[in-house]
Amino acid sequence: MRSGNTRYWLLQFIGWGSFALINILFAFSFDKLETFADRRLVFGRLGIFVILGLILSHIMRMVIIRVNVLQRKLEKQLVFFILITLFFSLIGSYFDMMLLQHYDFLNKNEKEFLGNMVLLVISGAFYFFIYFFIWNLIYFVYHYISKSRKQQLDTLQLESLVKELELKTIKAHINPHFIFNSLNSIRALVDENPERARRAITELSNILRSSMQADKSETVTLEKELFIVKDYLALENMRFEDRLRIEYDIDEDTLDQPVPPMMLQTLVENAIKHGISKQINGGVVRVISVFKGDFHELSVQNTGYLNGANGAANKETKTDDPIGKGFGLSSTTDRLSLLYGNKAKFEIKQSTSTLVEAKVLIPFENEIR
């Protein structure tokens, strides 16, 4: 049995056991256990109530989990809270009356109204409602606090991860190898194509500025992310020349969709490093952004072979595979998990015999778990 279930059942038995013990102490205090008949009535009624409370509260919990009440908005949670409590109170009162009548545990007042079972059930439901209301209140508050703490922890982890990513991205962009390649390409264009050289200086400046002033927010718009990606690919296009073909397939409606900052940049850099740079004849890098069902699908395709295996079609890779090693791709998985839980998906696969695809599926619900 999992530790969570063990704790749940422990709290169940402690709660209902304490309720039973308190009622027994009150019965002793008010001299309600003097005769055998008194003890039989008190312990019988109390036993039926506690057993029904234990069973029905557990079924309530199963219903709450089954219909995902805790994942809904707070207003809907409150509505479900009241309806579930009221429903199980009526069910509990009905079975309570049936069992009390069957075992002859009814008190004098109940026997007088035995002909009007509806009235007895409704009056008994009041007591069940009080205790089920308290039970549900404790259950909801416990999970609300647990969820809030988990969100705070996830937020701290995400902030730490984003800062680490920013630092590593800055280092990658300020790497002398990258800068020297870009500057050498720009120097070659100064006399040959001064206008292109000026644009290249602007592109390099934009990348360095974006790296230095990386947005501290958890998400940025796709449009903003594309600005950096296009500048980066434009500079790499100078280095690879005809060996690099760049294609964009962007649905304009997706431009305002939020994405984790530097995520698309990481996927594009990975495509250049592990794909194009290893191909003698170069290849294509294709950036795609579309809506697919309830997801924003963002993918980067590049000419190459997954893990160096030619034609290994439809093979998914994990972050511990050769192509997936390093901070970039593993951080993509971690950040998606922290932001969207298990709603977001990330995979790298050999989509065709010569084309590798890194795909991210982000849900429309832009809420952090």
Q: Comparing 7 with 162, which gets the higher pLDDT?
A: 7
Q: Tell me: the pLDDT tens digits for 131-185? A: 999 999 999 888 888 888 877 777 777 777 766 665 555 445 444 555 676 777 7
pLDDT of residue 35: 85
Q: Are 219 and 226 in contact (CB under 8 A)?
A: no
Lowest mean pLDDT among 127-131, 268-272, 309-313: 309-313
> What's the number of domains the chain is made of?
2
* One domain for residues 133 and 251: no
Nearest Cα residue to 292 out of 263, 251, 350: 251
The residue written with tokens 């999970």 in the block is 143
Query: At which of 99, 128, 151 does a domain end?
Result: 151
Residues 137 and 255 in one domain: no
In a domain, residue 336? The reply is yes
- Does 137 share its domain with 264? no
Which residues does 286 contact at the CB level (< 8 Å), separation at least 6? Answer: 246, 247, 248, 249, 300, 301, 302
Residue 279 lies in a domain: yes
Q: Tell me the CATH number at 364.
A: 3.30.565.10
User: What is the pLDDT confidence band of residue 249, given thresholds at 50, 70 and 90?
Assistant: very high
Give the pLDDT confidence score for residue 36 in this predicted structure.
Answer: 84
Q: Which two tokens stand for residue 289?
A: 């952004």
Same domain? For 254 and 146 the reply is no
Q: Residue 188: inside a domain, yes or no?
A: no
Supply the pLDDT for residue 338. Answer: 74
Domain assignment present for 94? yes
Mean pLDDT of 237-265: 87
**Are 138 and 247 contained in the same domain?**
no
- Look at residue 101 and tell me whether its pLDDT is greater than 80: yes
Q: Does the structure show a pLDDT above 70 at 320?
A: no
Q: Does residue 210 form part of some domain? A: no
**354 is written with which tokens?**
């010569």
- Residue 133 shares a structural domain with residue 247: no
Domain check: are 257 and 142 in the same one? no
- Which one of 129, 151, 173 terminates a domain? 151
Whose CA is closest to 331, among 219, 166, 213, 208? 166
pLDDT in tens, 44-65: 999 999 999 999 999 999 999 9
148 vs 345 pLDDT, higher one: 345
Q: What pLDDT, on a 0 to 100 scale, did the predictor assign at position 210? A: 64
CA distance 181 to 186: 9
Residue 218 domain flag:
no
Judged by average pLDDT, the poorest of 25-39, 107-121, 178-192, 242-256 is 178-192
* DSSP string for 177-229: HHHHHHHHHHHHHHHH-HHHHHHHHHHHHHHHHHHHT---SS-EEHHHHHHHH
**Any domain includes 341:** yes
Shared domain check, 358 and 254: yes
The predicted structure's pLDDT at residue 131: 93
Inter-residue contact 60 to 88 (CB < 8 Å): yes
202 is a domain residue: no
Averaged over 122-128, what is the pLDDT? 90
Q: Which of 151, 169, 196 is the last residue of a domain?
A: 151
Give this prediction's pTM: 0.49
Structure tokens at 153: 């922890």
Domain span holding position 96: 3-151
Look at residue 168 in the predicted model and tell me its pLDDT: 59
Percent of the chain with pLDDT over 70: 83
